[in-house]
Amino acid sequence: MKKTVLHKAIALLGAITMLAGVAACGHSNNADESGNGLKKVTFMLSWAPDTNHIGVYVAKNKGYFKQVGLDVDIVAVAQAGAEQAVNNGQADFALSNLTNVGMYTTKGAKIKQVMQVQQKPSAIWCSLASNTSITSPKDFDGKTFATFGSNESDAVIRRMIQTDGGKGMFDKVTVGTSTFQTLSSGKADFGGFYATWEGVQADMYGPKLNCFTEPDYGVPGNADTIGIITSNKTISSNPTLVRKFVQATKKGYEYAYSHPDDAAAILVKEAPDANLKLAFVKKSMKTIVDGQYWGDLAKIKDGSFVFGTNDTKGAQQYFDFLAKEDAYTDSHGKTVHTVPVAKNISTDEFLK
């Protein structure tokens, strides 16, 4: 399942609780010191360990965090979501994306993205290759979508179908275990994935997929602005901490981009509970590098693009699209038309 959609669908269920005063009971690690004098910091995953998180694992393994005086604890995502944990102080930093941040700030959260790793969409919307009735998005019309109930994913699918000449009408079924299993069981006809992870999985292990990308079918901007978030409170109260974490994390991702095979081995070693296969992680990293998902390598090397820069233009185009599709709701579930402003929920100041 496309993880931004899955993560949001789960995480946003807790938004009302999050904004009803949980900040008072949150715990921040900013003031804690480890036995070796390093400042203890908590980084929360946004789903299972994968190559989206790899730079943080590399930074920890290579000692980049220790070099700036940080002892970083990488923890599993909370049930209500990483955004909620950051907003209420239970985690100092987390992996998220500007779309999620926009969704949460619409509900009153005070969080901001401080570094963007992924610079272009990697979402793919797919049917099983064995399903010969689907050859392009217009064939999703009248079919069943394997979903976790996100307004965002509905808007994307509807736009893709309509751009391809269809009506944009489809049925939905809630995914029980995995989108792969839901499609293979025949309970649904299509679903969402990431080209850099599930797409690699399908290529290597099956089942084979027939996939379509958002930019090719009318979805504007960048939906997959994956990066590092923290709270506005942490930014204002401890900007030095934020700068140290961002700089070390940036170094970890840059190392992974330049040394993908070595970084893959580090992820497998540092996240043993995930039971990742090295060949699979290497191919995921190859897909990221070959597709230049984290930015133009030549521009990064010559300094004309700073790794980690937030794509506020691409994000805003996507935000505006979602607003037109009535995808934003407040903490009570009511549709709102106040569009998040990408420049207000992100900053590049800590990249320098």
pLDDT tens-digit series, residues 145-158: 999 878 899 999 99
pLDDT average, residue stretch 186-215: 97
CA-wise closest residue to 305 among 256, 351, 339? 351
Q: How do strand 70-75 and strand 123-128 relate by DSSP bridges? A: unpaired
Residue 1 pLDDT: 44
C-alpha pair distances (Å), 260 with each of 85, 131, 198, 204: 30, 34, 18, 18
Q: Give the pLDDT band of residue 30 (cuts 50, 70, 90).
A: very low
Q: Classify residue 344 as exposed, middle or buried by CB count within 10 Å of its CB (0-12, 13-18, 19+).
A: exposed
Supply the pTM of this predicted model. 0.90
Q: Which residue is associated with the tokens 């407040």?
A: 330
Q: Is the pLDDT of residue 99 over 70?
A: yes
**156, 236 contact by CB (below 8 A):** no
Residue 35 pLDDT: 60
Question: What percentage of the chain exceeds 90 in pLDDT?
Answer: 83
> Is 114 strand, coil or helix?
strand
Question: Which element (helix H / strand E) includes 315?
Answer: helix 312-324
Distance between CA atoms of residues 34 and 288, nearest Å: 35
| Between 33 and 182, residue with greater pLDDT | 182
Q: Is the pLDDT of residue 18 over 50?
A: no
Q: Give the pLDDT band of residue 37 (cuts 50, 70, 90).
A: confident
Q: Give the pLDDT band of residue 64 (cuts 50, 70, 90).
A: very high
Q: Is the pLDDT of residue 10 over 80?
A: no
pLDDT average, residue stretch 26-30: 43
Instruction: Please give the mean pLDDT across all residues of the chain.
Output: 91
pLDDT digits (tens, 9 = 90+) for 202-234: 999 999 999 999 999 999 999 999 999 999 999
pLDDT digits (tens, 9 = 90+) for 303-315: 999 999 999 999 9
pLDDT average, residue stretch 273-290: 98
Residue 5 pLDDT: 43
Residue 23 pLDDT: 36
Bridge partners, residue 72, by sequence: 41
Residue 32 pLDDT: 63
